[in-house]
Amino acid sequence: MTKKIKITSKVSEKDLIEHCLNLYHSGYDFTIILSFHAMACRWNFNKLKYYLILITEENEK
């Protein structure tokens, strides 16, 4: 018997991006956190890709 798991996220997108930026600047992998949030909020792939690019390009400025 399989159980269905429901993933939810109560974090705002602004807080999520700030946290992921902090992780990225510290040298940690932020993609797992971002991916779980994307699944919980049912983002499409383009939105997830946009935020990945946004976070990684922010460091180059």
Q: Which carries the bigger pLDDT value, residue 46 or residue 1? A: 46
Asked if the structure places residue 40 within a domain, the reply is: yes
pLDDT at 16: 86
Asked if the structure places residue 4 within a domain, the reply is: no
Asked if the structure places residue 27 within a domain, the reply is: yes
Q: Cα–Cα distances in Å, from 15 out to 10, 12, 21? A: 10, 5, 10
Residue 7: pLDDT band by 50, 70, 90 thresholds? confident
Asked if the structure places residue 54 within a domain, the reply is: yes
Asked if the structure places residue 2 within a domain, the reply is: no
Expressed as residue numbers, the domain containing 26 is 13-60
Residue 61: pLDDT band by 50, 70, 90 thresholds? low
Number of domains in the chain: 1
Asked if the structure places residue 28 within a domain, the reply is: yes
Kindly report the pTM of this predicted structure: 0.69
Inter-axis angle of helices 31-40 and 45-60, to 10 degrees? 150
Q: With a cut of 70, say whether residue 59 has pLDDT above it.
A: no
Alpha-carbon 17 to chain mean position: 7
- Using CA atoms of 12, 18, 22, 27 in order, give the dihedral in degrees to the nearest 10: 80
Which positions ≥6 away from 11 have C-beta within 8 Å?
A: 19, 37
